[in-house]
Amino acid sequence: MNAVTIPATPSAAVSAMPLRRVLGAYLAEARSECLRYLRAPGFMLPIVLFPTLFYLMFGIAMGKSEGPDIARYLLASYGVFGVMSPGLFGFGASLAIERDGGLLTLKRALPMPPGAYLLGKMLMAMGAAALVILLLLGLALGVAHVVLAPAQVAALLATGVLGVLPFCAMGMFVGTLIKGQGAPGLLNLIYLPMSFLSGLWIPLPMLPKALQQIAPVWPSYHLDRLALAAVGMEQGAAWPHLLVLLGFSAVFLALATRRLRRFG
């Protein structure tokens, strides 16, 4: 019997997914990720309540005796404090838990673009960051009577929404290193000391000089400088802080991507 030879199909002949379906897959994954966290009050409530309560207590109630600038200053600082949380925990803790549960393996097996899962988490974090900044702006403008120009409001909102990305990269890297149960504890050990040492809780001039000197090590310090500039409390050049945050994001994203490819 003669053997039947089946010609190999050239890779170029394999039809690619249409662009409209690719975009639809990205949008569907982003929508499902955002809805999943909006329906999880255990995740959203701490992210929203902590910075707003801190701002009410220290920026508004106790800040009245310190002059009008303290409410403006702490609007930027507590905004950065609130923005860090969805990046670190929305990416780090959830990624670690989903890796343990096998969800990440399932996502890879589905006929969807490989980056849709991570893009969905990133958009969720950016949306949560926008919500935090908008709530703080509402308190600052409506209760503390902070005077901000429309351009300053837009600049602070953009700083918060884009400023979450370095912390997404950091959270993503931590999520590839540790098991799901240990991720929230480790992330708190990063999140809380970094917030304090960056001058987000107490203005840097009030901290010991040794702590002031090491503050530029932390990405939250550089984001805080940008947020202060957005509300008119910082006069220095913005580009050094932008470069630091971009480099920080690139390094941790590269490390996290490498670990995901090797270990899943």
Give me the number of domains the chain comprises: 1
Q: Is residue 8 one of the residues assigned to a domain?
A: no
Using H for helix, E for strand and C for coil, what is the string for 46-76?
Answer: HHHHHHHHHHHHHHHHCHHHHCCHHHHHHHH
Q: What pTM was computed for the model? A: 0.86
pLDDT tens, residue by residue, 186-245: 899 999 999 999 999 888 888 898 889 999 999 999 999 999 999 998 888 899 999 999
User: CA-CA distance, 242 to 238, in Å (whole number)?
Assistant: 6
Q: Is residue 88 one of the residues assigned to a domain?
A: yes
Q: Is residue 252 one of the residues assigned to a domain?
A: yes
Q: Is residue 7 one of the residues assigned to a domain?
A: no
Low-confidence residues of the chain, pLDDT below 50?
1-15
User: CA-CA distance, 110 to 113, in Å (whole number)?
Assistant: 9
Q: Is residue 119 one of the residues assigned to a domain?
A: yes
Residue in 167, 173, 193 with CA at minimum distance from that of residue 87: 167
Range of the domain at 46: 20-263
Q: Is residue 12 one of the residues assigned to a domain?
A: no
Query: Could you tell me where the DSSP H helices lie in the chain?
Result: 19-38, 41-54, 69-87, 94-101, 103-109, 116-142, 150-177, 183-197, 209-214, 219-230, 239-263
pLDDT at 190: 93
Q: Is residue 155 one of the residues assigned to a domain?
A: yes
pLDDT at 103: 67
pLDDT at 23: 78
Q: Is residue 6 one of the residues assigned to a domain?
A: no
User: CA-CA distance, 122 to 18, in Å (whole number)?
Assistant: 24
Cβ-based neighbours of 246, under 8 Å, separated by 6 or more? none
